[in-house]
Structure 1
Amino acid sequence: MPIVTVDGVPVHYAAQGSGPRSIVFMHGGFGSSSELWKRTIAALPAGWRGYAIDNFLRSAPPPDGYSVQSLARRVRGFADALGLERPVIGGHSMGGVVTQLAASNDPERYAGAVLVCTGAVMTNHQLGHDLMAKLRETGYEHMREISSHWFRIVPADFFEGYVSRAMDAPLQAMLDVQQSLLDTDCRPLLPRIKAPTLVVFGAHDAGRTIEHAQTLLAGIPDSRLARMEDSGHSPMIETPADFDAALHAFLATV
């Protein structure tokens, strides 16, 4: 995988495609990685190049430590380092919060935003609080059980790889970034997001419910909903054809 230096530290990423337009994806927490987006960036429309940043595996920590805020600054530094002109940015779950922060920090920097199974605040996300407590108490002992919450329909080989990679991530990094996620409330920042925004909701998502999606839609001025009727928390893996159809239609408008 290629490496770029951001804030003086190496950041690994996956990339595929070619053309003048670019989209940068952020993975979620609990040990997720760029592999979550591998299929999506391979399927992008002609004229688009996709990037997927690694934050926990293969990359160094941000200089000021792991938090959703430091990862949002990494998005800007990544785009600047690669000379990406007004890319679309997107994120899944925790990465969706990173995307909200990045898009509100620099409203003119990005051409669009894609928020996948995420929300602005964790106040009514009991599953996230419960799994954070389990991770803090038992480490990776229950990572397979924790990871099972992110998928409703998933190929067995992908799930095994996901769990294995998750257990390779630094535990303290997981705890630090998850705690910052629990402490962050993006609701006051949503009106500052000026980029057109696609909010993707999985109808069977046990954690990020429709109320989370509705909060994003109410707060972001130029936003629209794509509802994945057969998906849980990870539609890019569970229902890839539906996810691609919604994403590609959105990219055609930005």
Structure 2
Amino acid sequence: MTHITIDGARVAYTEAGAGPRAIVFVHGGFGSSSGLWASTMAALPPGWRGYAINNFVESDPPPDGYTIPAFAQRLDGFIAALGLPSAVICGHSMGGVVCQQTAITYPGRVAGLALVATGPSIRNHGIALQVLADLEAGGATRQNLDAISRHWFAHIPDQAQFDAYVDTATRAPLDGMLAAQRSLVATDLEPLLPRIACPTLVLHGARDHGRTMDHAERLLAGISGARLALFETSGHAPMWEAPAAFQAALAEFLARIGDAA
């Protein structure tokens, strides 16, 4: 784990790959971390370097608190602190909302946008309020976070990997997880989506019962030129449930951005 200081806060991240082009990965809520992206970063195409931020584990809170705008400001500052003129940003679930906010608020930093199992708001998100209530009631115990995390999968492909993911989630601050989820519930970026002008890929699992296809369709309708990569057997975590197809779709997207640069 490496650390960098952004707006006076210590931020942890991991990195992999090598090359002149950069992609920054942003995890979701409920104690998620950079470990979500380990296999994706290991499979990056030549010429690309990947960075995955930790917003909960081993990082200080953003100065303005655990909110979507504060995470977007952190992402903008992270790209600047690395000395990058711009980067592709890739976000999962809540992290996808952070990436949308970043592309809207700091467009000069964003060379491309990959949105994984996310949407512009939580409308028609059947379990968003339920899992927030579960976290409020049960706290950050391992048993509770295990139960919450199981919602993200149509099937768990690797139990050891899942167990390690949950173990890491128990290290996240409960107040931070709750504040982030409440901010997510309060966020609606759909009216602002037409401001996003960078190349955009929407990666979505057909069996995601929280972020349903309605969420992907609203992104595609709101962002000009956005394309869809659909994973028929995957739930909320296509980077784990359909890794080969996910990595191929992301690599094709990165190649298009590289060719256009």
What band does the TM-score fall into relative to the shorter chain? over 0.9
1:70-219 matches, within 5 Å, as 70-141=70-141, 142-153=144-155, 154-219=157-222
Q: Which amino acid aligns with 1:180?
A: S
Q: CA deviation at 1:19?
A: 0.6
Q: CA RMSD in A?
A: 0.9
Q: Percent identity?
A: 54
Matched residue, 1:19: 19
Q: Which amino acid aligns with 2:107?
A: P
Q: CA deviation at 1:126?
A: 2.3
Q: Distance in 1 between matches of 2:54 and 2:38?
A: 12
Q: CA deviation at 1:183?
A: 0.2
Question: Paired residues, what number?
Answer: 254
1:108/1:194 contact within 8 Å kept:
no
SS at 1:168 equivalent? coil
SS at 2:188 equivalent? coil
Q: CA deviation at 1:14?
A: 0.4
Q: Distance in 2 between matches of 1:157 and 1:215?
A: 35
1:108/1:195 contact within 8 Å kept:
no
Q: Which amino acid aligns with 1:72?
A: A
Q: Which amino acid aligns with 1:181?
A: L
Q: Distance in 2 between matches of 1:244 and 1:39?
A: 9
Q: CA deviation at 1:123?
A: 2.1
Q: CA deviation at 1:161?
A: 0.7
Normalising by structure 1, we get a TM-score of 0.98
Q: Which amino acid aligns with 1:113?
A: L
Q: Which amino acid aligns with 1:53?
A: I
Q: CA deviation at 1:134?
A: 1.1
- Structure 2 unmatched ranges of 5 or more: none
Deviations 1:58-88 (A, max 9, x none): 1100011111110011000000000112210
1:104/1:190 contact within 8 Å kept:
yes
Matched, 1:247 2:240: no
Higher mean alpha-carbon deviation, 174-183 vs 147-156, is at 147-156
2:154/2:234 contact within 8 Å kept:
yes
Q: Distance in 1 between matches of 2:66 and 2:16?
A: 27
Q: Distance in 1 between matches of 2:42 and 2:168?
A: 20
Q: Which amino acid aligns with 2:148?
A: I
Higher mean alpha-carbon deviation, 86-95 vs 100-109, is at 100-109
Q: CA deviation at 1:108?
A: 2.8
2:13/2:54 contact within 8 Å kept:
yes
1:198/1:223 contact within 8 Å kept:
yes
SS at 1:111 equivalent? strand
Q: CA deviation at 1:253?
A: 0.7
Normalising by structure 2, we get a TM-score of 0.95
Q: Which amino acid aligns with 1:232?
A: G
Deviations 1:6-49 (A, max 9, x none): 00111110001111100000001000000001111111000000
Matched residue, 2:232: 229
Flag as ranges the 4+ runs of structure 1 deviating above 4 A: none
2:72/2:99 contact within 8 Å kept:
yes
2:79/2:109 contact within 8 Å kept:
no
SS at 2:56 equivalent? coil
1:93/1:118 contact within 8 Å kept:
yes
